Structure 1
Amino acid sequence: MTALSSTSDRQPIRRALLSVSDKSGLIELGRALAAHGAQLISTGGTARALREAGLAVTDVSEHTGFPEILDGRVKTLVPQIHGGILGRRDLADHAVQMEEHGIAPIDLVCVNLYPFAATVASGAGWDDCIENIDIGGPAMIRAAAKNHDHVAILTAPDQYAALTAALAEGGTTADQRRHWAAAAYAHTAAYDSMIAGWFARQLGETFPPVLTISGARREVLRYGENPHQEAAFYVTGEARPGVATARQMQGKALSYNNLNDTDAAFEAVAEFERPAVVIVKHANPCGAAVADSLEAAWTAALRCDPVSAFGGIVAVNRPLDAATAALISEIFTEVIVAPEADDAAREVLARKKNLRLLLTGGVPDATASGLTFKSLAGGFLSQTRDGGRVGEADLKVVTQRRPTEAELRDLLFAFRVAKHVKSNAVIYAKDGATVGIGAGQMSRVDSARIAARKSEDAAGIAGESQALTVGSVAASDAFFPFADGLESVIAAGAVAVIQPGGSIRDQEVIDAADRAGIAMVFTGMRHFRH
């Protein structure tokens, strides 16, 4: 890579081509260019807006001597435009050819593209979407970016202020032009990525031969999972409510781990129709509950593991009220994420200056489709989001004893929680609340035992004489490969179990359940989460 020119090596702007769909800041930019003697060349609505502001504008067709044709599909794709952008000022041959063909150099290209994403989002049909695929815009952007030694390229209104300041100093610097060129190629790459994704969806291709994704940097984070790692937060523009769409109402900046854990908590709480609370620590739920109110759900969720809840992330699926906010603020909490919060709740939380409050404006659809990604060395894995869900009609009772109606409700609740707990996962639940969670162990037996031990600790904190798991139901995210895992669940006091089934030793596990007199149902669906 060649060295950057000195910042004192400024390129004046004598001729500027402006063609934008987003007209934010356009008039101010046009006035600044005109004030410094630049000729303005423009098209369509951009030219009209500049003229209405009293600025002198040369139409592209007047500049090129060639009319717009094919319903405007061809207006800038001509040598007078692209030669003016691509011609190198430092090559005598280029200068001779440009003069011979009447091509005037263009020093600034300011273009942003047809609103393809907005057109798709509006529900427009195939033809309208196709017509909103910009052709001339990306061509001019890429040409200007390639010739950035001599041409400045602007693709976003937030770049205009720097350009205006540069005009006052005599022109743009090589460093500015190179940075704008990099941004321009990212801009066209993201645009093409949106179009490619739309085509794949229209053709029914979940995993096309080439998968392109793009993200806009929201912020550079202080560090990653650990202080020696660098990190940044990128957003894709997906409308799914969550951390990427949230408004931060208070508190210090979010960390990498905060963002990751908050996403996990909010996706988990979205599983439930009733008022629900999920508490997450290190990407795993450490308490979850549904109830008739958020206040009651918080109390039940906290009871599961009050030790791990310290410094955790709290997600709710209803607008946060003052009573619930007051209870949550009694312990140290890093983040609360909610669809909304009333004024009284916000007033309560304002007393906790460091606590972050995120409002998402809605709750995501837990069953909606979409892709998730995991990086590998030299590549990445992609899969559809786990929107799988089972209902009572999907369950197969495999034991002599059938679960009661109350047990069925708790079994389905526990299985939804299990979907959001790292594998191997074993969840104990009772009365719509978790009472023990075992996560991320290499052995399902260990997960069952850890959850039971933690329930004993929680019982001690609550002043109760027996483990919270006594009389509970249990959920396993995948089948029990041997009876020993189920026997650990039975030893913890569970009276009903929900699991996918599908092991070659299923009958051995069923027999163990029948010997203990507990109920067990199979779902036929597993929820591994790594």
Structure 2
Amino acid sequence: MSGPRIDPSLYRERDVVPIRRALLSVSDKTGLLELGRALADAGVEIVSTGSTAAQLLEAGVPVTEVAAVTGFPESLDGRVKTLHPSVHGGLLADLRLEDHERQLDDLGIRPFELAIVNLYPFAQTVAAGAPAGEVIEQIDIGGPAMVRAAAKNHANVAIVVSPDGYGEIRDALASGGTTLEQRRRLAAAAFAHTAAYDRQVADWMAGETGQADRVLRVEATLSAPLRYGENSHQRAALYTFAEGRGIAQAEQLSGKEMSYNNYVDADAAVRAAYDFERPAVAIIKHANPCGIAVASAKAVDPIASAHIRAHECDPVSAFGGVIAANRTVTLGMAEQVADVFTEVLVAPDFEDDALAVLRRKKNLRILRLPADYRREIREFRQISGGVLLQTADSFDQGVNSAQSDSSAWRLVSGEEVDAATRADLEFAWRACRAVKSNAILLADAGASVGVGMGQVNRVDSCHLAVNRAGARAQGAVAASDAFFPFADGLDVLLQAGVRAVVQPGGSVRDDEVIEAARRAGVPMYFTGERHFYH
């Protein structure tokens, strides 16, 4: 079945459409009275429904109730109000056609030039945990019908679905009407609005019928075009999730515009720093840590302490890096950062004096995280022809979270370690999660001293970590994100003088690896879980 076919030569051009009659039916009453008064003052007849009409009338705004237009009262507890030819004829009549204009006259229907409609709060009702019966009543029927009718007929009718659009309607009243370009843009937003609403309903129904996992829907809104992607010949843009509270929603306080790579590294840095409850700083280069540390126990300025200790892990690599802190940046930390070329600094907040120091670095991008920052609980990765989905690897509380302390670890060689060594092992295990696999991290006193990352075999990662640590490897602890398949990688660490090791275990050659640690007299713990990060 197809729609009607009309000879294009019959259309009359219509750009600016004066607003003489408006239909108002909104659940979100924000700005309603101000808009109603503006319409009334401009001589616009307002037709309205239910609580919208009641609120306008109470405020002294003249309103024609829908029942007076349709000749039928609202019925079935409000389920039927606007589903009537007198409403939809006025919304759908294409007045570019003389025949439509004649039919309206014959039927005694007056056209609308404006519809202000938004829909029942379905998503909010679901989020509030309402029972199914209440949720069902928030499935809007008449609202979407009116929105779609007006949007289809945007040649003649302006449709507004959000209070954000009320300002331009007031401007249109003053300028003589809405333009075709404006109505076309509003129509596009309206169709997106009803599509999103229908998706919310469909997703809820899928959950109610045990089919929630059958379809994956990801919706994001363009936030900003980026100059380019990972390389200058690649196009890129930032899109944000409506409920997102992460690096994409961070407020930029100073510096050059963010790049694609800046966002990737900043997200990795925040992810690493926020793995710790104590004041912590992570310095990232190409999505890998070149230093992670928590504050020393007796530090007067904890976040400055965490930063200088993270920087000391690998000062060469920290040049041109991205820094994240999980506490407010102090003047002390700012002065340290100002001495090193840094691309991005992101934190939950900044002291005024610290911000003044940092802003002197004109190219330094300074980002403030949302006050209610939270990481995503699921992760997507595109592959050719599809998308992979997984729950995020984190140390937060939850069913899919990693062990947050060492209570469940199993000692497989050596003697139980003292409290300081255990604390270092716990730190290394957390910090290791932020390192690309194969990952080896050496730590001492709550700070990384050597990192080996992204190698195709674990032995090379061990060599990298030891080489970067240099003399600091002696007496450090070591963490491995996955098991040692052979003893050779562990031997590199043992020969460098590490004092304790933590790793997942689970290799078919665990006995060989354990024996190597026993011969060296080095305590080694198995966590029973791994932290691959590709």
TM norm. shorter chain > 0.5: yes
2:437 maps to what in 1?
423
Q: What do residues 97-122 of structure 1 show as CA deviations (whole Å, max 9, x unaligned)? A: 54454433222222223334444555
Please point out which of 499, 511, 515 is paired with 1:507. Answer: 511
Kindly indicate whether the alpha-carbon contact (under 8 Å) linking 2:283 and 2:289 is maintained by their aligned counterparts in 1: yes
Please point out which of 489, 495, 500 is paired with 1:496. Answer: 500
Q: What do residues 182-241 of structure 1 show as CA deviations (whole Å, max 9, x unaligned)? A: 222222233334445555667787x5211223223333333333333333322223364x
Letter in 1 for 2:53: A
The within-5 A match list for 1:356-371 is: 356-362=365-371, 370-371=377-378
Identity %: 54
Letter in 1 for 2:453: A
Please point out which of 385, 402, 410 is paired with 2:392. Answer: 385
What is the alpha-carbon distance in structure 1 between the residues aligned to residue 36 and residue 63 of structure 2? Answer: 9
Count of aligned pairs: 513
C-alpha change, 1:522 and 1:101, in structure 2 (3 Å) is: farther
SS of corresponding position for 1:394: coil
**TM-score calculated relative to the size of structure 2:** 0.85
Deviation at 1:302, TM superposition (A): 0.7
Letter in 2 for 1:499: Q
SS of corresponding position for 2:292: strand
1:87 maps to what in 2?
93
What is the alpha-carbon distance in structure 2 between the residues aligned to residue 226 and residue 412 of structure 1? Answer: 37
1:454 paired with 2:468, answer yes
1:247 maps to what in 2?
251
Structure 2 unaligned regions, length at least 5? 1-7, 395-400
Q: Over aligned residue pairs, what C-alpha RMSD do you find?
A: 3.1
The within-5 A match list for 1:227-246 is: 227-238=232-243, 240=245, 242-246=246-250
1:441 maps to what in 2?
455
Identify which range, 174-183 or 519-528, moves more after superposition: 174-183
Identify which range, 513-522 or 346-355, moves more after superposition: 346-355
Deviation at 1:29, TM superposition (A): 4.2
Deviation at 1:380, TM superposition (A): 1.6
Letter in 2 for 1:303: E
Kindly indicate whether the alpha-carbon contact (under 8 Å) linking 2:12 and 2:97 is maintained by their aligned counterparts in 1: no
2:474 maps to what in 1?
470
1:219 paired with 2:224, answer yes
Structure 1 unaligned regions, length at least 5? 457-465
Q: What do residues 409-435 of structure 1 show as CA deviations (whole Å, max 9, x unaligned)? A: 222211212222222221111111111
Deviation at 1:274, TM superposition (A): 1.4
1:65 maps to what in 2?
71
Identify which range, 335-344 or 408-417, moves more after superposition: 335-344
**TM-score calculated relative to the size of structure 1:** 0.86
1:526 maps to what in 2?
530
What is the alpha-carbon distance in structure 1 between the residues aligned to residue 12 and residue 247 of structure 2? Answer: 41
Kindly indicate whether the alpha-carbon contact (under 8 Å) linking 1:270 and 1:365 is maintained by their aligned counterparts in 2: no
2:143 maps to what in 1?
137
SS of corresponding position for 2:407: helix
C-alpha change, 1:399 and 1:31, in structure 2 (3 Å) is: same
Please point out which of 288, 312, 317 is paired with 2:326. Answer: 317
SS of corresponding position for 1:304: coil
What is the alpha-carbon distance in structure 1 between the residues aligned to residue 121 and residue 305 of structure 2? Answer: 46
Letter in 2 for 1:446: D
Letter in 1 for 2:143: G
Identify which range, 130-139 or 194-203, moves more after superposition: 194-203
Kindly indicate whether the alpha-carbon contact (under 8 Å) linking 1:401 and 1:514 is maintained by their aligned counterparts in 2: no
Identify which range, 36-45 or 125-134, moves more after superposition: 125-134
Letter in 1 for 2:447: A
Kindly indicate whether the alpha-carbon contact (under 8 Å) linking 1:403 and 1:520 is maintained by their aligned counterparts in 2: no
Letter in 2 for 1:69: S
Kindly indicate whether the alpha-carbon contact (under 8 Å) linking 1:339 and 1:363 is maintained by their aligned counterparts in 2: no
Deviation at 1:25, TM superposition (A): 4.5
Deviation at 1:280, TM superposition (A): 1.7
Deviation at 1:76, TM superposition (A): 2.1
SS of corresponding position for 1:386: coil
The within-5 A match list for 1:275-294 is: 275-291=279-295, 292=297, 293-294=302-303
SS of corresponding position for 1:278: strand
C-alpha change, 1:342 and 1:179, in structure 2 (3 Å) is: same
SS of corresponding position for 1:337: strand
1:375 maps to what in 2?
382
SS of corresponding position for 2:323: strand
Q: What do residues 23-80 of structure 1 show as CA deviations (whole Å, max 9, x unaligned)? A: 4454554455456553222224433454466543222222222222233232223332
C-alpha change, 1:8 and 1:331, in structure 2 (3 Å) is: farther
1:188 paired with 2:194, answer yes
2:5 maps to what in 1?
none
The within-5 A match list for 1:400-415 is: 400-415=414-429
C-alpha change, 1:441 and 1:87, in structure 2 (3 Å) is: farther
Letter in 2 for 1:426: I
What is the alpha-carbon distance in structure 2 between the residues aligned to residue 296 and residue 6 of structure 1? Answer: 73
What is the alpha-carbon distance in structure 1 between the residues aligned to residue 293 and residue 71 of structure 2? Answer: 71
